[in-house]
Amino acid sequence: MKPTRFALMYHKVFQFYLNISMLFLKWRGAKIGAKTSIGKINCEWPNQLIIGENCTIQNDVDFRFWTPFKKDAGIKIGNNVFIGHACEFVANSKIEIGNDCLIASKTTFNTTGHEYSKSIKIKDQPITTKEIIIEEDVWVGTSCVILQGVTIGKGAVVAAGSVVNKSIPAYEVWAGVPAKFIKNRV
């Protein structure tokens, strides 16, 4: 079935809008590599965002920085990375995604947490923060949660819906809540 004229025109107008949006992100300080495609995203502090070449970032991805002027709190995305629809990055510390990674839709990366001593009300607990490192050639499935202090090793696979609260060695497949080792990648 052929697309209608209206659909083709809408697509061209929307692509023009996305190109203007990307120029505006660069003007506000984002570093974006060549041949990168960015959908409609949310990023209040793009000065803390580095995106490599030949990446695809789909619509509704949210990049949040609690401390936008902190030097070690930023998001760095390597080359040839795919980030699916509605992913969320909460960076109070560094989040780094290596080259050639696939991050499926609705995945959350959060570098922050709270202490939980019973001697202090939960709302008054201090915030903790630790970096998240995703090495190259990693596949993170749909609706995963990657928590602070985690490193996911080169070539690892995280199954859909997993909650990753500890580091994953290279070339292993993990799944579950919390994520556990399933098998080695072959």
Query: Could you list the active site residues?
Result: 114
Q: What are 25's two structure tokens?
A: 């992100």
Q: Which positions ≥6 away from 97 have C-beta within 8 Å?
A: 75, 76, 77, 78, 81, 83, 103, 134
Cα pseudo-dihedral 64, 67, 69, 70, rounded to 10 = -120
**Contacts of 140 by beta carbon, 8 Å cutoff, 6+ apart:** 101, 102, 103, 104, 107, 134, 146, 152, 158
H or E element in which residue 16 lies:
helix 5-27
Element (H, E) at 20: helix 5-27
